[in-house]
Chain A
């Protein structure tokens, strides 16, 4: 027993040192040139703060998506690979709502606020229903199948939704073109918050008067406030309400929950509804914040949020929030000081390292009685 444990540790260290070696070897090519980074931090220390702000804002969005992964995993031990794409649908839904209601062309603050709230509500509803439908279609029948089966059908759902997104993006009457941000299918998501605040005569940058070369925008604050509100709401919901307690009970022992009169199917559906709704809200937030709508954006968001959920301890709601902010910071610093195209690799490497050294995550929970 002792011996196998030691061997296992040795193997983990071998893998970790291999990863480190590769990182150091390829590092300079991709921009991980430590002296250069140190120089640029020294030359412009404020930039560090700037990346921090961006990281926290993006992290808030990642955290909201990660909640969907972690809640679903907590309750049926399935990684819902289609979740990132549900978020993508959230981005497109809100963009379409803003376009159809004429909010995009409007300069009237009242109309913009109304349009944004409507977009938020509709994105939440659409994503909630979509997520619950995915569960009914692709996962429910496989609940007692080997675990690989629902995983594969989750990946299948992910491809299907991505293709729906691809077609959606091509419909000019649904997604008006304001130009592209990169590839031809990467649409601009108009900066409605910027328009709104300018029309109200506010300076979008809250730090404009300070004279510092820093941007802390109302957008950043809004994203963070909305995210923290949603997270607190969810936390209280799960801790205090009848349905929330039923969810925790189901996650901890499904048979016991059934024998106490908890309708498992409804609890699972509710979990998917809530997770999907959060992804919808995150979709609008991300669209407004990053100003991009792309059919493939769910992949990167999904990868980052899934890593965040694992980093925080999958199944743990507080952990997903913490992990979200940490991954947001990691991605932001990587985008800023390395090269944006390597961020995904870095996030993946983080995922590998967590799984190797601390599979239960930072705030990991014991899986309890389930052997």
Chain B
């Protein structure tokens, strides 16, 4: 479904992605794990079109995303819950969710989708008239995910959904990710919490300083000695 081939992305002179190739198949959860600065978020930004690859290609269902501006990528069914959440602080929760559906041409099912998101995240229903900036970190994370879901994406990009959240909330969020996938959403998940990510993913890629050093089934990666030592904290 989604395929990156030898993608090189730069920030000015900084070579952030050094030839990333990866695929995400229909219906999968694929996770990208790696430490800070490995290029995980840059990979998602490159798929979304916020950063353009200098060379290499990003193809979604035969369409070359890397040649399109970011806002057109969104209309093709790529939605993201970005790093740092990036919700609109001075818009209400409702308006934030409305903006999520901005790229969709058919919004006949808007009400049903809204209902679906609010059922997934009941906290958002309680806060529906509140300004995004007044929400707690966990609520903002839910809002960022809810907003991405309102786009009814073909592929959902999740950047560190567990960041800064209480352990109970992390479990809740991962349960929801799993459920979304079971309902048919393809997910590319970027996580520092490698254990959680690998436990729900089908496949995983390990990123190190802009390069993919390992790619395998999630279960095999969990048993990989290197991964255990570096990312799972197993001695």
Contact = CB atoms under 8 A, between A and B. Distances in A.
Interface of A: 242, 245-246, 248-249, 252-253, 255-264, 365-366, 368-369
A368 B80 contact: no
B95 interface: yes
B91 A249 contact: yes
A255 B82 contact: yes
Given A258-B70, A368-B89, 18 more contacts: A245-B99, A249-B99, A249-B102, A252-B88, A252-B89, A255-B86, A256-B87, A256-B88, A259-B50, A259-B80, A259-B82, A260-B74, A260-B79, A260-B99, A260-B102, A261-B151, A369-B84, A369-B133
Give the 6 A-B CB pairs with smallest separation, nearest first.
A261-B103, A261-B74, A256-B86, A258-B70, A368-B89, A252-B88
8 contacts: A245-B91, A249-B91, A253-B86, A253-B88, A255-B82, A259-B73, A261-B151, A366-B133
Given A258-B71, A259-B82, A252 B90 contact: yes
B103 A260 contact: yes
B158 to A, nearest CB: 13
B48 interface: yes
Contacts of A368: 89-90, 133
Nearest to A261: B103
Nearest to B81: A259
A248 B84 CA distance: 19
B147 interface: yes
Contacts of B34: none
Task: Classify the interface of chain A: helix, strand, loop or mixed.
Answer: helix
A365 B90 CA distance: 9
Contacts of B80: 259
A263 to B, nearest CB: 5
A368 to B, nearest CB: 4
B226 interface: no
A253 B87 CA distance: 8
Interface of B: 48-50, 69-75, 79-80, 82, 84, 86-91, 95, 98-100, 102-103, 133, 147, 151
Contact of A246 (B74, B89, B90, B102): B102
Contacts of B90: 248, 252, 365, 368
A261 B88 contact: no
A369 B133 CA distance: 9
A264 B95 CA distance: 18
A249 B92 CA distance: 11
Given A246-B102, A249-B88, A255-B50, A260 B151 contact: yes
Contacts of B72: 261
A261 B89 contact: no
Contacts of A260: 71, 74, 79, 99-100, 102-103, 147, 151
A261 B70 CA distance: 7
Contact of B70 (A245, A248, A252, A259): A259
B81 to A, nearest CB: 10
A258 to B, nearest CB: 4
A245 B98 contact: yes
A238 to B, nearest CB: 11
A259 B151 CA distance: 11
Contacts of B99: 245-246, 249, 257, 260, 262
B102 A248 contact: no
B82 A256 contact: yes
B147 to A, nearest CB: 7
Contacts of A248: 88, 90-91
A365 B91 CA distance: 13
A293 B114 CA distance: 54
